Each structure stands twice: as structure tokens, then as C-alpha cells.
Structure 1
């Protein structure tokens, strides 16, 4: 058991993905790009992929199209993708989104309270929740191909 915990801590320290012991995700309400407020607790029953990102983060920008494809592919199966921008000034994110549009909701955590609750320490950070709102996996950083890990996580949760 001690070795498992050490291995998990090492994975997290290296910025790699790790499956975490299921804990209920902190609830939050944030304003979306379209002006509506979205509340996480109201999404129970859906699998949630929450991606914390910033416009100055190259890997975040690189990952956006892959997240959009995942969102569109799994939406009809009860999977939602939310992008949470963590910048205090959202103007750069809005400028980026005017050029590269995504179909999933983009929310703004301008005071970083949500990213603190989720212990976001790397950009991007992707958190996947099960239908009960429990954190099932956390992925830190991004390299091409990570979306396959997200898809594997989603498929596993859909089979439960």
C-alpha cells in the first residue's frame, strides 16, 4: 500500500495523469462565455470532463481542438466537457475563442477560487468526474495523444 501511495505521488509530482480515490468534486458556479451561469452540481447524472486552461499556455491551446472533438463525440452519451479559463483578465481568452470556436462551454474563474479548490498546479489540468460527481481521474499537462487517456477514462465510466 505504501508503495502504491508513493507511486501515485511520484506520478502527480511528475505532472502525469493519475487515477485518484473517488471524492466528491467541489461544487462551483461560474459565468460562461455566453453569459449564463453554470453550476457543477446541476450536472449530476452526466460524466464531466473539466479542463483548466489559460490562453498563454501553448499546450492548452494545442489541446482545445481535441477536447472539442471529444465533446462532440460523447455528448449524446451523457458526457460534458467544460473549459475553465483561469486568467484574471479574460480578454486574451475571449480573443482566442473568437478565432478558434469550440462547441463546449467555456467558463471564467477570474478569482482562481475554483482552480484553488481543485488544486490546479499545472496548465492544463483535466479532471474527470463520474455521474455521481466524484473525481475519478486527474491529468496534469498535455502532450498530443493525452486525449486518448481521457477517452479511455470516459469509456470506463460509461461502462459502469
Structure 2
């Protein structure tokens, strides 16, 4: 690769990251009503459909528990992946709903939950305690976080299938806790349940 090509790729990556950060902060500060956020989110959805069917980007990270978290662990599982940060009002508002989602599915061996944050890089304990987060959180540097969520900002919800490909992708959220519950129940839960059912059906067929 030529030096000029390398420079161009780095330049556009940094520019995309900068724009995503500005958008997230701007929306969090300016969104005074749920209606404003709903209109913004509807616009965003039109720009993420191309991600459906793409393979989740690769990562190899070490969590606070000392365990290795790798994209290779997505294979054979239905995985919900979230991206959150404290300066994002919708991220904070949806925490109780995400706690419930984690509680509802964590006992299923075919399901796994993973979330990424840029809070207190390497050790987000204070952030987790403050917002009473019950689901697993990995703290990473801002570049890694935006790379993994395709430079879409916060919050981001993804569901990755057993083949490692993205089945569901949503960027944005509401500042109303009830709206967050309705969004997860109406959009995320059905996809997770459908994929888990397919895994069970496939397993039963192999046994026969």
C-alpha cells in the first residue's frame, strides 16, 4: 500500500470517528423530547441496513475478570452486543430494560450478552455501580469501541447469529425508560427468540 493511500485511510477513519462523537454528544445535549429522538432514530435506521448480513468485526480483548473475549466466541451462539457510555442520555435511560433482557436470557446456554463502553478505560467499576448495570461490560479505548460499532456512536444494539453475522443493528434510542422497554420487547426479543428456536430445532434434527 502506498504511503498516500495509508494516509487517506487513516484520515477518513479519524474523520468518521470525530463526526460520530460529535453527533452522539449533540443529540444527547439537544434532545429535549422523546419526539425529537424518535425522528432522529428513524432517519438513522435507513443508513444501517447495509450492515445486516455482514460478519461482526474481529476483536481479542481482556476483561476486568481477566478472561479473554474474542469474536471467535460468537460462533454457535446468539449474541446481543450493546455499546454505551455515560454522556449518552438514551444509554442511561435504557439500563433497566437491558438489565431485564440480560436476566431473561442469561440462563440459556445458547445465548450470550456482551457490551462495550469507553468509560474508565480498562476498569469501569464506578460506572457500572453508579447505574446498577447487571450485564457484562468491557471497557475499551474509544478507537476500538467505534471500530466495533461501525462508527455509529451510542447507543448501539446488535444481534449476531451463530455464524458470526449481524442479524439486527440499531443505533439511537429514547430518553424515556418505558420507550426503551417497548423497543427491546418489540424489536430485540423477537429476533433473539427466533434465533434460539432455530438453534434448538437444528440440534434436535442432528440428534435424530
Q: TM-score normalised to the size of structure 2?
A: 0.62
Higher RCO structure (Cα 8 Å, ≥6 apart):
1
Task: State the Cα distance separating 1:133 from its structure 2 match.
Answer: 1.1
Q: Which has the larger radius of gyration?
A: 2
Superposition RMSD in Å? 2.6
SS in 2 for 1:66: helix
Equivalent residues of 1:28, 1:39 under 8 A apart: yes
Pairing of 1:115-126 with structure 2 (within 5 A)? 115-126=146-157
Q: Larger helix proportion, structure 1 or 2?
A: 2
For residue 150 of structure 1, report the CA deviation from its aligned partner: 1.0
Residue correspondence of structure 1 range 4-43 to structure 2 within 5 A? 14-16=43-45, 20-43=51-74
Say which SS state the counterpart of residue 137 (structure 1) adopts: strand
Give the deviation of 1:54 after TM superposition: 0.8
* Alignment pair present for 1:136 and 2:173: no
Q: CA deviation at 1:65?
A: 1.8
1: CA distance between counterparts of 2:106 and 2:123? 27
Give how far 1:14 is off.
1.2
Structure 2 unaligned blocks of 5 or more: 1-39, 175-179, 199-208
Distance 1:36 1:91 in 2: 13
Corresponding residue number in structure 1 for 2:130: 99
Gap regions ≥5 residues in structure 1: 1-10
Render the CA deviation track for 1:74-107: whole Å, top value 9, x for unaligned: 12222211110035x4389432212333332101
How many equivalent residue pairs?
A: 149
Q: Which runs of 4+ in 1 moved over 6 A?
A: none
Q: Provide the secondary structure at the position in 2 that maps to 1:101.
A: coil
Between stretches 90-99 and 48-57, larger displacement belongs to 90-99
How far apart, CA to CA, are the structure 2 residues paired with 1:127 and 1:155? 14
Q: Return the structure number with greater strand share.
A: 1
- Of 93-102 and 72-81, more deviation after overlay is shown by 93-102
CA drift of 1:127 comes to 1.0
Task: Provide the rounded CA distance (Å) in 2 between the counterparts of 1:72 and 1:66.
Answer: 10
**CA spacing shift, 1:50–1:114, aligned 2, 3 Å:** same
* Higher mean C-alpha deviation, range 133-142 or range 145-154: 145-154
TM-score (norm 1): 0.78
Secondary structure of residue in 2 paired with 1:25: coil
